[in-house]
């Protein structure tokens, strides 16, 4: 049995598994499918076309599976599919797919903090952290264990690789390779996510290979194609192979390096909203 507050509104043909808790003023639209042991807190809204797995926690006033913010959307049947053990905090918005039959998909054990936005047709893997107000536009893809800091923004169709880490206030318009740390507006590659790799159990030998791959890609003076050939000829770990495959599949291109931002590119940059000009040191 599930515990459903008397003020909750449950639509027609909703499937509810065992042991769910549905709080005050929750709205669940027609046809939603919900697994077992989920906790859905007061004021949350779960729209049609949504499938929710087991052991998720949906906090107050989160909106799951609502219509996409796409002017071409005309009410087509689209979907939102969410896995298991996700924590979705207050006022998060997750929108369903936009073209007929498509879906927004979120995996397992993700932590999505307050006010984050996940737009239509995004695909998220597992154990991802999105800090407050991180925003994914349409068709973004985020691989396992990526860390998106607060108030970050991502161009549509951007891909974020495994264990990538994005610093706060960053704006991203290109793909972020796996294991790379980045920041800035626009974002640039700044190094590798050593702490994240250690916590994920990646051993020192593999970390050394990833570090070498980063150097070949961003510090060797080779272009991307040349760097990838050098990496494939020299480094053999599964993790580096994934990094290469990710980059080879990129359609938007990958981030530039912080090292290519020279002083001439950066000095006399006008501060937004101010008449003051600043001169910055090179990265």
Q: What percent of the chain has pLDDT over 90?
A: 90
| Whether residue 63 has pLDDT greater than 50 | yes
| Whether residue 282 has pLDDT greater than 50 | no
Tokens of 79: 């979907």
pLDDT average, residue stretch 159-168? 98
Distance CA 42, CA 66 (A): 17
Q: Domains of the chain, with CATH numbers?
A: 1-139 (2.160.10.10)
DSSP string, 72-99: T--S---EEEE-SS-EE-TT-EEE--SS
Cβ neighbours of residue 137 closer than 8 Å, sequence gap 6 or more: 119, 153, 154, 155, 156, 158
Phi/psi of residue 163, nearest 5 degrees: 60, 15
Q: What is the pTM of this model?
A: 0.91
Collapsing DSSP to helix, strand or coil, 196 comes out as helix
Tokens of 129: 């952290």
Give me the residues paired with residue 95 across strands.
66
Residue 259 pLDDT grade (very low, low, confident, very high; cuts 50, 70, 90) = low
- Biggest CA-to-CA distance, the chain: 66
pLDDT, tens digit, 9 for 90 and up, residues 7-54: 999 999 999 999 999 999 999 999 999 999 999 999 999 999 999 999
pLDDT average, residue stretch 128-146? 98
| Whether residue 254 has pLDDT greater than 50 | yes
Residue 1 pLDDT grade (very low, low, confident, very high; cuts 50, 70, 90) = confident
pLDDT, tens digit, 9 for 90 and up, residues 193-249: 999 999 999 999 999 999 999 999 999 999 999 999 999 999 999 999 999 999 999
Which position has the token pair 């990710």? 246
Cβ neighbours of residue 226 closer than 8 Å, sequence gap 6 or more: none
């Amino acid at each position: 049995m599930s515990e459903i507050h008397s003020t909750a509104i449950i639509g027609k043909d909703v499937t509810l598994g065992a042991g769910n808790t549905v709080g005050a003023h929750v709205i669940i639209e027609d046809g939603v499918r919900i697994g077992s042991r989920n906790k859905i807190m007061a004021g949350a809204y779960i729209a049609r076309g949504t499938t929710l797995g087991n052991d998720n926690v949906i906090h107050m006033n989160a909106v799951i599976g609502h219509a996409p913010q796409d002017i071409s959307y005309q009410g087509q049947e689209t979907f939102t599919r969410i896995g298991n053990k996700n924590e979705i905090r207050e006022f998060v918005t997750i929108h369903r797919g936009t073209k007929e039959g498509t879906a927004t998909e979120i995996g397992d054990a993700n932590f999505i903090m307050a006010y984050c936005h996940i737009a239509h047709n995004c695909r998220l893997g597992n154990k991802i952290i999105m800090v407050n107000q991180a925003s994914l536009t349409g068709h973004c893809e985020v691989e396992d264990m990526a860390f998106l800091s607060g108030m970050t923004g991502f161009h549509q169709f951007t891909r974020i690789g495994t264990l990538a880490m994005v610093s706060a206030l960053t704006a991203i318009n290109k793909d972020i390779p796996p294991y790379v740390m980045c920041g800035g507006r626009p974002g640039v590659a700044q190094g590798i996510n050593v702490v994240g790799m250690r916590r994920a159990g990646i051993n020192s030998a593999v970390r050394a290979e990833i570090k070498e791959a980063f150097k070949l890609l961003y510090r060797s003076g080779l272009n991307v194609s040349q760097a990838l050939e050098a990496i494939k000829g020299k480094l053999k770990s599964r993790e580096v192979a994934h990094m290469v495959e990710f980059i080879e599949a990129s359609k938007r291109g990958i981030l530039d390096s912080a090292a290519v931002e020279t002083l001439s590119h950066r000095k006399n940059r006008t501060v937004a909203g101010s008449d003051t000009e600043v001169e910055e040191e090179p990265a």
